[in-house]
Amino acid sequence: MKPINAGLLGIGTVGGGTWEVLNRNADEIQRRAGRAIRISRVADKDLKKAQSLVNGKAKITSDAYEVVRAKDIDIVIELIGGTSIAKDLVLEAIRNGKQVVTANKALLATHGNEIFAAAQKKGVMVAFEASVAGGIPIIKALREGLAANRIEWIAGIINGTSNFILTEMRDKGLPFAAVLKEAQKKGYAETDPAFDIEGVDAAHKLTILSALAFGIPMQFSKAYTEGISKLTQEDIRYAGELGYRIKLLGITKRTDQGIELRVHPTLIPARRLIANVEGVMNAILVKGDVVGPTLYYGAGAGSLPTASAVVADLVDVTRLITADPQQRVPHLAFQPDRLAKDPILPMGEVETACYLRMRVQDRPGVLADVSRILADSKISIGAMVQKEPGEGESRVDIVMLTHRAIEKNVDAAMAKIEKLPTVLGKVTRIRLEELL
């Protein structure tokens, strides 16, 4: 049978890995796909690098549009990243009747609705397994493996850089800034690490997972995003003393009021499997009403793990390339005319338990004042620790774990507590999830 010809846009870290995997496992891939898959055209600005990797086995160009418009190309693999030129290239590929494979989570989270609509109209596929959690097949699990379930919630460690930083802070007792520098030296964090440490990367991925889980359009602009840059050693230590670990989680839940879509540092009981995912590894916990909780663990980034997902998409697309478009798995798991209109819940309406830490003057009546404010805001205390002041110290930390409360009530209570003359500085709030 005639081989499938793919055009590769970008032969950097993931593109190079994709080239390597397709060549290394060519026979195995052909046995699975039913026909050979070869990259016959490569577009990259660095022509010398591309030529050294391809070694004459594909046509090289610096013009990506040349690839997406080439008549001999069946599948376009978009691995250049970003949301501007990548969007234009993907839409042009679709207009030219090409199937598309992409690892671009930012592109899909922000422009996925437009891209999927264009693909649906043209009758082509857009496959994106590599866009979330690298080599973990979470997209396929949500679209196919869990199709019998009504998904209740997803909670995931979906950014390896942040997870590495939090692991090192806990294990080595180092401050955030020191561990960030270490992550940059190891290549885990970019020179400008904002997307990773402020939760934006995780929010892109969570937007995709939420759409697949609940059959809703991509709505990245409505995701609540809070990063890890303000976490301190004190909070990591106190959390450990209380039996919790802090992870940057992406959480999406179905509620009667709407869909929660939020990324933030979260206390998780240390006995939970996901709390013990360390370093740059990723893990995603999915709760279905039929199957219960399922956990997906593995390498969330890197050349070969992400290439594994890209090539898996190539195999899937090759198998289905001649199928009736109506019989293919829908892009967002649900039929496009049956997407739900559930609203994304504003963060102020979300209900969570909380860890609250405040530094106060060591005087009688302080705890009573704080407790009264919490009670007036309909917030009940589940546990409390008052640290002993050091010798000669007149300040002390109070740590509280609350029961579940509405976010806006916690915000109001924190503002009132911070106005007490005996409370020094801001109240630290970290949300808590039991993940049952």
Q: What letters, b where the CB count within 10 A reaches 16 and e where it falls short, cover 351-369?
A: bbbbbbbbbbeeeeebeeb
DSSP tag of 344 = B
Q: Whose structure tokens read 């590894």?
A: 281
Give me the helices (H) in 299-376, please.
303-320, 366-376
Q: Which two structure tokens, joined as six digits, stand for 314?
A: 């190539």
Supply the residues annotated as catalytic. Answer: 205
Rg (CA), the chain: 24
- Who contacts 31 (Cβ-Cβ below 8 Å, separation ≥6)? none
β-bridge pairing 37-43 and 4-9: parallel
Would the CA dihedral through 364, 367, 370, 373 be positive or negative?
negative
Collapsed DSSP state (helix, strand, coil) of residue 345: coil
Which residues on neighbouring strands pair with residue 252, listed in sequence order? 154, 261
Give the span between the Cα atoms of 6 and 54, in whole angstroms: 14
Q: How far apart are CA 324 and CA 328, in angstroms?
A: 7
Contacts of 416 (CB under 8 A, 6+ apart): 373, 377
Residues 18 and 42: beta-carbon distance below 8 Å: no
Is 71 exposed, middle or buried (CB count within 10 Å of its CB: 0-12, 13-18, 19+)? exposed
Beta bridge partners of 244: 269
